[in-house]
A and B are shown apart, each in its own frame.
Chain A
């Protein structure tokens, strides 16, 4: 089954970080996921964590340029959440024989494997940034993620000029790369 046009639009919105689109997906599908988790020995906080992780899986998928789910968005999210929750139950040893199946599912194992790798990378990067400390962490975020100019950064961080800030940025970057490559081993 092809993804219908409304859902296609939502997915494109998600890829572009459009808040309205994210909110719509949230409103349409969150309660279904919460029902799944709550009826399988979970709590509302678990439902929130699982649903948000599934949204990140979906985001990674659409970011890679694939808007084709081959099923309804609802089925896709349900399948991802179900897998994630089964895994979590296993880790918590709160395990019940099998999660009660409320909906149709599609296989999502491959995608979750890829997601896990990216999740590991995310955590290593976060850890590396934390051990990098301030002002390096904010400086690199300002330049590479918030796309601020060196002039703005020099002003915000109290450096005498842009060249000075650039020099500082270079040193911070070198340190981050070093910490990251050590952590990833």
Chain B
């Protein structure tokens, strides 16, 4: 904490934000304490490098946008033809030689063919044409069969997701589906196609919607999403798909903050195999209090999870985004449940009632 305050002072000093007296005092400290002096020098350099990085990064993006815009408006670039022109200049002679050789060869061959080819009766030609028509038909049939039997896409990334609305809205981790081309989700009942509605990389959450005619919407969910943070030592359990089989695990809330004391996440300790990214974390009442975010877990059974109140935040910001509402009108009716119907019942019953609402998320 003391170091924090010192660095804060150094930054204000570098930016010239100190009052004259404070600055005088700081300079005195700096002159008498070589460590402070060293810190000022080193931090000035670092901040300069960081700012330069930011400026260059911004310019790079801007240049890309300008380039694209000017190209679209036809204000710069002549595109590919220029290459053809240079190639033409370079290989003009070769092309002429090649063309004349080709011409002579063609003449010779067509002469030979007309000389040597046997005379054929028109009947036979008709017969052949007929046969060819039939063959073409067959080939077309086979081609359509092959097309309809196209292999399913190969998925190379997996995570877990869970419904927050029976209409088919799922939550998983942003890093599970970032840059995905194709997303499928699968529960105990079937496999469905899904699409990404919103990424919230900061909270590491993503909202998906099942987009498949074979999916039958659920009427409400058995569990609720909790708005409270959970208590230290509280018993927790997870249900997720670390492998193609659903896996149950239990543990406890072991710290109210996450990695590097991040307050948007918390830490849980669980025997082993906590389920992979996107697995919901339930309390005894069957309320979701977090989402496992395995990108930051380590080997000693310590896992970090994103607090569930971030789900509400993500959904709210999405509803405020009018461009999203335009593309999916049912978003207005997206309703995140808060009450749980699993209070006070046996764990085996709870699991049985929850498992259909948990999905494997597959992406490529």
Name A residues whose Cβ lies closer than 8 Å to a Cβ of B: 17, 19, 22-23, 26-27, 30-31, 34-35, 38-39, 43-44, 47-48, 52, 55-56, 59, 63, 118, 121-122, 125-126, 129, 133-136, 138, 140-141, 144-145, 156-160, 164, 166-168, 170-173, 175, 177, 180
Contact of B83 among A43, A125, A168, A172 (CB under 8 A): A43
B residues less than 8 Å from A35 (CB atoms): 82
Known interface pairs A136-B260, A158-B203; A144-B59 also in contact (CB < 8 Å): no
Name B residues whose Cβ lies closer than 8 Å to a Cβ of A: 3-4, 7-8, 46-47, 49-60, 62-64, 66-67, 70, 75-80, 82-83, 86, 201-204, 260-264, 295-296, 309-310, 313
- A22-B62 in contact (CB<8A): yes
Q: Could you list 10 examples of A-B contacts with CB < 8 Å? A: A56-B59, A121-B52, A126-B57, A134-B204, A144-B47, A144-B54, A157-B202, A159-B263, A167-B261, A170-B4
| Chain A interface main SS type | helix
- A52-B78 in contact (CB<8A): no
- B58-A17 in contact (CB<8A): yes
A residues less than 8 Å from B262 (CB atoms): 135, 168
A residues less than 8 Å from B78 (CB atoms): 31, 34
- A172-B56 in contact (CB<8A): no
A residues less than 8 Å from B310 (CB atoms): 158
- B202-A134 in contact (CB<8A): yes
In Å, the complex CA distance between A56 and B264 comes to 38
* Residue of B whose beta carbon sits closest to that of A171: B260
A residues less than 8 Å from B63 (CB atoms): 22, 26, 52, 55-56
- A164-B263 in contact (CB<8A): yes
- B201-A19 in contact (CB<8A): no
A residues less than 8 Å from B295 (CB atoms): 133
Number of A-B contacts (CB under 8 A): 126
Contact of A34 among B3, B58, B82, B296 (CB under 8 A): B82
* Residue of B whose beta carbon sits closest to that of A19: B62
B residues less than 8 Å from A38 (CB atoms): 82-83, 86
- A17-B260 in contact (CB<8A): no
- Most A CB within 10 A of own CB, among B7, B50, B296, B309: B50
Closest beta carbon of chain A to B312's beta carbon, Å: 10
- Which 7 A-B pairs rank lowest in CB-CB distance, beginning with the nearest? A145-B54, A125-B53, A30-B76, A170-B4, A52-B63, A38-B82, A158-B264
B residues less than 8 Å from A31 (CB atoms): 76-78
- List 11 additional A-B contacts (Cβ < 8 Å) besides A22-B62, A59-B59, A125-B49: A26-B63, A31-B78, A39-B82, A44-B79, A56-B56, A56-B59, A118-B52, A122-B52, A133-B296, A157-B264, A158-B264
* Residue of B whose beta carbon sits closest to that of A123: B53
- A160-B77 in contact (CB<8A): no
B residues less than 8 Å from A121 (CB atoms): 49, 52-53
B residues less than 8 Å from A136 (CB atoms): 260
B residues less than 8 Å from A126 (CB atoms): 53, 57
In Å, the complex CA distance between A52 and B60 comes to 8
Known interface pairs A27-B75, A44-B79; A141-B202 also in contact (CB < 8 Å): no
- A159-B264 in contact (CB<8A): yes
In Å, the complex CA distance between A30 and B76 comes to 7
Contact of A173 among B7, B52, B203, B261 (CB under 8 A): B7
